Amino acid sequence: QVQLVESGGRLVQAGGSLRLSCAASGRTFSSYAMGWFRQAPGKDREFVAAISWKVGITLYADSVKGRFTVSRNNAKNTVYLQMNSLKPEDTAVYYCAADTDLLVVPGTTPDSYDYWGQGTQVSVST
Q: Are 119 and 94 in contact (CB under 8 A)?
A: yes
Q: What contacts 33, CB < 8 A, 6 or more positions away?
A: 50, 51, 52, 53, 98, 99, 101, 103, 106, 107
With b for 16 or more beta-carbon neighbours within 10 A and e for fewer, the 95-105 pattern comes to bbbbbeeeeee
pLDDT, position 26: 77
- Condensed to tens digits (0 to 9), the pLDDT of residues 72-108 reads 999 999 999 999 999 999 999 999 999 988 878 899 9
Q: What are the backbone dihedrals phi and psi of residue 5, each rounded to the nearest 5 degrees, phi first?
A: -130, 115
pLDDT band with cut points at 50, 70 and 90 for residue 30: confident
pLDDT, position 7: 98
pLDDT band with cut points at 50, 70 and 90 for residue 48: very high
